[in-house]
Structure formats: structure tokens, C-alpha cells
Structure 1
Amino acid sequence: MADGDFLLRRPWVLVIVLTCVATSTAFMQTLVVPIQNHLPELLDAPRSATAWVLTIALLVAAVTTPISGRLGDILGMRRVMIALLAMMTLGSLIAALSGELTWLLVGRALQGVSMGATAVGISMMSLVDNRKIRIAGISIISSSMGFGGAIGLPLAAWIAEIGDWKLLFWATAVLGTINLIAVLFVVPSTDRLRQRFDWLEALMLSAGLGGILVAVSQGPVWGWSSLATLGLGGTGIVVLFVWGLHELGTRNPLIDLRIMSKFPLLMVSLGSIALGFAFFVQEVSFLQILELPVRTEAGLGLSILWASMALVPCSLAMMAVAPLAATMTDRFGARVTAVLGSVISMVGYLISVVWHAEVWQLIIASVFALAGVAIGYAAIPTLVMAEVPYSMTGSAIGVNALMRSVGTSSGATVTGMVLAVQLESSAGFAAPSPGGFVVTFWLGFVAAALAAVLFWISGRRRPGVLL
């Protein structure tokens, strides 16, 4: 077990372990994408039900990440991270051993809970005294949220290609165990706040967010005017409103809304939503255009494995730019770095608007688009932590992670809706039209541009402080 001086002696070892944890938990986002279309046959269940295998992990992650961050502030970050990784391992084992959809969903939900480990890890880097290492560590760990999800797609496709589909979950169980052991021996204990954790507040936040996110994600399936969509969404809004009133009236809130609603943090949160939106526009649209049959006007006819491999360069680019983002943040400030990342992502989408007829064109476009997202992701936590006291670092980073999740969920939903209404029939096969894909590329461009504007106006530079 590491002692408190470990941060001073070997902080880079801590960075490496926390980066591995963040990459592993982000892998949960795209773990089942390669087998999603085969799940109805594998589980003997309707497609509408098996769609939850992907959705439930993302929804649970969005709801529980702010709570995990606050628990880290109150109970100690190391203790919470160990619990989250234990849930990842347990969820993987349940999914691997499941024989029916219900238990698979339970396993995936537990995997979703583990995604809060990234926010806890970023918060832990605030304890490192060396400014350069602290900024570099935050940048690398934060970028791995995007890198882990992006590299997870080809890895999952390859694993599913060479063996039984449940090998995916056995692999993540092993990964979770390795990370758990590394955290036990490397990550030091942190101070605990003498505050009570209000489980009622956490339950209300979960119910409110869950209702809204389920309504948004299932709206295209149930119908936006259906009773289920309106009922869940409306109930979620009401519960969140009541929760917000309660938070404003308590001494030790789960999330300090007064601080989180300050103009700089509000703009950073909105910018995070926009950048997350841009991220998943690429994830959804590029993969589809690569996989569609060549007999369609837009498709390039790659298998899921080779389509995933075509996105490996952008995953590697996301990893490669993290140290560059750290250097830029240290020299020019986090605000300039976040803006530049958003602009680079805009360039990627502009390339895809003009050139998308060949695989190499989409590879180049995806490298620019996701490298920009990674640079932006790397700078965002520094912007957040500059505005909050240490006692609420975990919850603030958790809320920002929630904002990114809202962006990615919205990006996936809106992109899917656009492509669904832009269908054309070719040789008896209905598929999204080239024009539909161009519309999604423009959406990605606009989202990245909006993120750049929001990050830029998030606050003026303070004397002696690089934001």
C-alpha cells in the first residue's frame, strides 16, 4: 500500500496507474458496439430490449459519476476508486456468466458505475505539488476518457472476431482485477471531509437525471410525443427542480449549485456538452459510412473489424496529443488550449464535409476531429479546478463528466435521428443518403465551433494564473 509521500517521490507512477484506470473504464462505453447487432439472436430477445445493453451503461455512468466524485471528497478518493473498480470487475463477471438479458443488463449497469473512477482520478492529481506534473497528469488522464472509448471499438471488434462474444467480459474482468491491484499498491490514501453524505440527495439526483436521459435516449424509439417519453422527461425535470431547491437550502450540498452556476464554470460546462456532442457525431457517423455496403451511394463496404481498424489512427492521435495539450496548458493556459482543441476538431469536420468518398479521407478527418476533442478534454479539468475549492474538487469534476456524457448521449441520439430520416433506397437496400452524412458532419462542425466560443468566453485571465 502506498503512503502519502509516494506522490512526492514517484508522481509519474501514479499518473500511469490512474491513466490505465481511466482508459479501462472508458473502454466500457464501446465494449458491446461490435456485437450490438447480433445480440437479438445471441440472447433470443427483441432488438428493442437488447439495445439497452449499450444504453444502460452510458446512462448509469452519467447518473453516478457526480455522486462518485462527491463520495471521493467525503470518504477518500482511494477508497471510492477501489469500490468502483470492484464494481467493474463484478459487473464483468456477471455479464460473462449471464445466460439471459436481465443478468447481462445488471453486469453492464455495474460496469457503468465504474466509469466514475476517471473523475476521481483527475481529482486525485490536484494533490500533486509539482505544477508541470500535475497539469500533465490531468491532461493525460482526462484525454484517456476519449482515447479509451475510441480504442475500445477496434479492440472489442478484434476480441469478438477471434472468440466467443463473452470473451469481451472475461477480458474486462481481468482488466478490472489488474487495475484494482495496481490501485491498492500505488494510490495513496487521501484526507476525508468531516461531512455526512446525504443519500436522499443522491437518490433524487439519480432519479431526475435518469428520467431525463432515458427520455432523450429512447425518444426516437418510443416517439417524442409518447406518454412514456413525456412522462419520464417531465418527471425528471420536476425531481431535479425539487432537488435543486433542496441543494440551495442545505449547508453541505451534494453539488454546490451556487459555485457551479458561476459564469466561468457554467460556460465550461456548456462547452463540455458541445465538445462531447462533437465527439459522438464522429463515433456514430464515421463508423456507419465505413460499414454500409458499397451498393449504397454512401457506403464503403468494410467489415466491422476493418471499419474499427480504420479508426485506430484517430485513437492513437488522441493518445499522442495528450502530452502536447499538457505543455500548451502549462505555457498558454487551459482556456487557450481548450479553444484550440475545438478549432482543430472543426477542421476535421470540414475535411469530412468536402472529402468522404474514400477510407483514407475519413481517416484523416477523424484524426483531426478526435485529436481536437482530446486536446479540449485534456484542458477542461484544469479550467474546472481553477474555480472550485479543494473540498469540492471531486464533485465538480464529476459534474463536468456528467456534462460530457450529456453531450455524447445527445450527439449519438441526434446523429441517429438525422441519418434515420435521410434514407434512400439503393438496390432494394435502405440506407442513409450521402446528404444525410454531410448534415451530421456539419452538426459536428457547429458543435465544435460552439465549444470554442463557450470556452473562450468562460472567463478573463487572472493575474498570475493561467486559465
Structure 2
Amino acid sequence: MATMKSEPAGESGEAGGEAGADVAGLVAVLAFAGIVVSLMQTLVIPILPSLPRLLDASASNTAWAVTATLLAAAVATPVAGRLGDMYGKRRMLLVSLALLVTGAVVCALSDSLVPMIVGRALQGLAAAVVPLGISVMRDVLPAERLAASTALMSASLGIGSALGLPAAAFLADRFDWHLLFWASATLGTLAAVLVTVVVPESTVRTGGRFDLVGSLGLAAGLVSLLLAVSKGGDWGWASPATLGLFTTAVLVLPAWGLYELRTDQPLVDLRTTARRQVLFTNLASVAFGFSMFAMSLVLPQVLQLPEGTGYGLGKSMLAVGLVLAPQGLVMMTMSAVSARLTRAKGPKTTLMCGAVIVACGYSLSLVLMSEVWHITLIACTIGAGIGFAYGAMPALIMDAVPASETAAANSLNTLMRSLGTSFAGALAGVVLARMTTDFGGYPLPAENGFKVVMAIGAGSAVLAFAVASFIPRRNTTAQEGPAADGPAEAAEVSRAKA
């Protein structure tokens, strides 16, 4: 499919309307694909307590249904981004969606632990859809539509997670649990068909040789680090397995970095990554990923704990999903506001505003967490801040890297957010395990434990604000995606009219 061209406004109303419809359709399809992939993060949450019985396995083993997805996503995201830059972003989008559908079908057909873990790992391999979609947008969209479109695509990570929880809870509560995966397979197939029909292939490619050694080294380092972080609480932080994995990560990742600096065609261009704008955006992304996941760990538990605890609200999983669902709608709305603020003041300002809003949302939880509407208010406030921040990050990254490295750079930024969520899960687990209260002979997380986690979430948002302050202040309103006869042509028309 040919790259879409942007018609100059006013030359042909019909052509302009057609181009506008094409752009709107492309953005809608890519955002839908991003939401479908992000649904995978919350898909199994409603059935996690029942998985030991459903799969005839221990609770610690069934937790691999979540861990496998996390590890696969961490490995696949930078690799798929680099392959997209080399061989075509649309092609890698379709490969990623095919892996998602395959994984969903494997899970839907499984009644034991091993196929479930395999299927969930395959679903995790689709995590690069969002950064690949952002990269396609840079290459083919008119410059004036880029900020709003990439903001929506970036926010789809949170939107899908927030909207997926009530939908998954509803299906799990009323139907056989396998339907969750048949539904995700159907949505993934629909997304793949729409991408095939609507999304053009980008002409911006780097070519070259794939860095197999670099990809294996990064995979070994990331898997060791994330496995130690995610399972350290279960295995013991001082256990030989946990310490061995941390040691492996400490040895492998620096060695991988040295190799990447010395190879001609690296998986990740660390020199580009070290640029001030990219570096501090990625560091802020880790803090934002931490903030987003800290809330996801606390608010559902407060809603579900028995009222007899004095701070639990005794709601069902379906009710939890419905209470938290507005957060996704707020993220979607705020992504458009984020784009307008970015055009007016620049993405650095937008990112810092998002950090302030997130910090305010977490601060609310320290005084308001005793009613259902309190929880919705907290979630929506934090969601608004995340919508601002996630909308600004792609703009900051794309303004600092060449078009030929867009997918790899955005994939690395997505990975940084994932690292933040992993660290949040580990730290929150430690806090809630140590700060407990007795309820009917069973230890439950104490109210103060929840407040400590939320306070840490507020602190991470403040840290993100501080890190973002070091980003160079640059105006990206005139960003151009240098794809041939795409936004570059639109930019030339705009300059000619000026």
C-alpha cells in the first residue's frame, strides 16, 4: 500500500476530506491495536485467585501466567522495534498481532499450567505494537496531526488496561474462563485485519544487519533483572536464586552496553540514547511506570477487602472494574489535551504537568480512601496525569532521534515504563508483606501499608518531575516525519505557504 499523502488545505475540499478520513481511520486502527494489546495486562487478573484450581497447580506456579508475559514483553519490545526500523513497521505490527492471537488460542485451549504459560509468553511478545504504531504515525501522518495521534497511541497502554479489567471481570464472572482468551483472539484478529487494510507500510527503513548477539545479551540481562525483581519476594531476597539473577544482570548488562558501543549496527544505539533529551525522558518514564502500577496494586485491594477490616470496601471484582474503568476514559480524553498543550508549550511542559497531576492524585489517597467515589476520584486524577505524560513522551523521543531509529527508540521508552512497573510491584509487595493486620486469623495488608505505597507513588511522580526538569526545552510543534511523500511533503507545503 502506498504511503498516504497529505493534501494542502483549501486546494480540494473533497481530496482534503478524503485525506482527513484516511488519517482518522489510520489513527483509530492503530489506537485500537494498542488497546487490544494492553488488554493482555489485565486479562488474567479476575481469574488469578482461581487459577490454582483451574490449572491444578500451586499458586506460586500459576503466578507465572503473569511473569511470563512480563519477561516476554521486555525481551520482544526492543527487538521488534529494531526489526521494524530495518524491515518495515507495518510488517512487524502484523507479526506482533499474529503472536498475540496465537498465544490467546493456546491459552483458550489449555487446561494445564505449561500451555497457559506458553500462551501468555506469546501474548507478551506482542507488546511492541504501541511503539511500532507510534513510529508508523511519525512516518506517514501529516505534521499537524502527529502530536494528537501519538499521544492517543501512547495513552492506549493505560486505556486498554483500565477498560479491560471490568470487561474481563464480567466475562469471568458469567462464562467459562476460556472465553476470555477466545475474546482476545477475536479482537487480535480484527486488529490484524484492520491493520492490513488501513495501515500503509512506511518507506523509512535503516536496512543493515540484525544484531543477534546484542539481542541475546539484552534478553539475558533483562530476564535476569526482571525475574529477580518479580520473584524475589516469593523466593526470598537473599536466596541463592535471587542473588544469582541479580549478579547475572549486573555482569551481563554492562558487558552488553560495551558491545553495543563497539558494533557497527547495534540493536540499541546507546549514543543516541545518551542524548540528554532521550536519556532524561527515559528516566522519567521509569518513574511514571512506577506511579501507574503502584495505584493498580493498591486501589483494587482496598475495594475488595472486607468491610470488617475498617478500611476495605467489600466489593466484587466486577464492581472493582467498573469503579476503575473511568480512569481509562479520562486517559483517552487527556491525551487530546496533552497534544494541545504540547503544541502550545512543548512536550517538556506537558510531561512536567502530568507529573504534578499524578502527585496530586496520590496525595488525595492519603486523606480520601474510605468511599467508592474517593477511589474513582483518585484513579481518575492519576489517570489524567498519566494521559498527559504518556502523550508527551513520544514527542520528546521523536524530536531527538532520526526517523530511521524511531521504532527502536520508542520501544526502548516503552521498556523503561515496564521496568518502572516491575520495580513498583516488587517494592509494593515488600511493603504490604511487612505491614499487615490480623483479620480472623489471616494476615491482610494494613491500611498504613497501602498509604505507604501510595506515598511512594507520589514520591516517584515528584521524582519524574525533577528528572523532566533536566530535559532541554525544545518546541516540537513543527515536528516532521521524514517519510517520503508523507509529512515531509506536508511540511514543505506549510513552509511554502508561510
Coarse TM-score class (shorter-chain normalised): over 0.9
Choose the corresponding residue for 1:226, options 207, 224, 239: 239
How many residues align? The count is 465
Residue 441 of structure 2 corresponds to residue 432 of structure 1 = no
Aligned-pair identity in percent equals 41
Q: Deviations over 1:87-146 (max 9, x none)?
A: 011110011011211011111001001111111001111113522211111000001111
Paired AA for residue 79 in structure 1: R
- Bigger Rg over Cα: 2
Paired position in structure 2 for 1:217: 230
CA contact (8 A) 1:297 1:433 kept: no
Amino acid at match of 1:378: G
Q: Residues of 1 paired with 2:471 and 2:346: CA distance?
A: 13
Structure 1 gap ranges (5+) = none
In the alignment, the residues of structure 1 paired with residue 111 and residue 432 of structure 2 have an alpha-carbon distance, to the nearest angstrom, of 34
What's the CA shift for 1:267? 1.1
Tell me the distance in 2 between the aligned counterparts of 1:160 and 1:463. Answer: 45
Q: Report if aligned partners of 2:81, 2:410 keep a CA contact under 8 Å in 1.
A: yes
Q: Deviations over 1:38-79 (max 9, x none)?
A: 100111101110001012112211221011111100010011
CA distance in 1, matches of 2:446, 2:80: 42
Paired residues of 1:12 and 1:133 also in contact (CA < 8 A) = no
Match of 2:444, SS state, is strand
Amino acid at match of 1:377: Y
Distance 1:245 1:457 in 2: 26
Separation (CA, whole Å) in 2 of partners of 1:149 and 1:462:
31
Between 1:170-179 and 1:429-438, the stretch displaced more is: 429-438
CA shift in 2, pair 1:346/1:6, >3 Å: same
Does the 8 Å contact 2:395/2:476 carry over to 1?
A: no
Structure 2 length-normalised TM: 0.91
Q: Note the alpha carbon deviations across 1:140-165, whole angstroms, 9 max, x for none.
A: 00011111112111111111112001
Displacement of 1:359: 1.1
Counterpart pick for 2:291 among 278, 286, 299: 278
C-alpha spacing 1:184/1:231, structure 2 compared with 1 (3 Å): same
Alignment-mate amino acid for residue 299 of structure 2: F
Does residue 86 of structure 1 match 2:98?
yes
- Report if the CA contact (8 A) 2:154-2:391 is conserved: yes
Alpha-carbon deviation of 1:297? 2.7
Deviates more, 1:58-67 or 1:191-200: 191-200
Q: Contact 1:280 / 1:411 at 8 angstroms: preserved in 2? A: yes
Q: Where does residue 11 of structure 1 map in the other structure?
A: 23
Residue matched to 2:16: none
Q: CA deviation at 1:6?
A: 6.0
Match of 1:121 in 2: 133
Q: CA deviation at 1:462?
A: 6.0
Corresponding residue of 2:407: 394
1:154 match: 166
TM-score of the two chains, using structure 1 as the length reference: 0.97
Distance 2:129 2:43 in 1: 17
Please report how far the alpha carbon of residue 298 of structure 1 lies from its aligned counterpart in structure 2 after TM superposition: 2.2
**Corresponding position of 1:385:** 398
Residues 216/5 of structure 1: CA separation in 2 closer, same or farther (3 Å cut): same
- Contact residue 259 and residue 388 of structure 1 kept, 8 A: yes
Find the aligned partners of 2:338 and 2:228 in 1 and give their Cα distance: 36
Secondary structure of the 1:425 match is strand
SS where residue 354 of structure 1 aligns? Answer: coil
Residues 397 and 283 (structure 1), Cα distance of their counterparts in 2 relative to 1, 3 Å cut: same
1:323 pairs with 2:336: yes
Helix, strand or coil at the partner of 1:94:
helix
Letter in 2 for 1:105: I
Aligned equivalent of 1:174: 186
Corresponding residue of 1:53:
65
Given residue 95 of structure 2, which amino acid in structure 1 is its aligned partner? A
Could you tell me which residue of structure 1 aligns to residue 202 of structure 2? 190
Note if contact 1:128-1:134 (Cα within 8 Å) is conserved in structure 2.
no
**RMSD of aligned C-alpha atoms?**
1.5
Which residue does 1:355 correspond to in 2?
368
CA contact (8 A) 1:296 1:429 kept: no
Provide closer, same or farther for how the CA distance between residues 97 and 463 of structure 1 changes in structure 2, counting only shifts above 3 A.
closer
Tell me the alpha carbon deviations over residues 229-254 of structure 1, each in whole angstroms, 9 at most, x when there is no partner.
11112112212222111111011111
Matched, 1:110 2:109: no
Q: Is the 8 A contact 1:298 1:357 kept in 2?
A: yes
Amino acid at match of 2:359: M
Contact kept in structure 2, 1:297 and 1:426, CA below 8 Å: no
What secondary structure sits across from 1:431 in the alignment?
strand
Structure 2 residue runs without a partner (length 5+): 8-18, 480-498
Partner of 2:55: 43
- In the TM superposition, what is the alpha-carbon distance from 1:7 to its structure 2 partner? 6.8
User: Is 1:452 aligned to residue 451 of structure 2?
Assistant: no
Q: Deviations over 1:317-349 (max 9, x none)?
A: 111211111111111111111111111111111
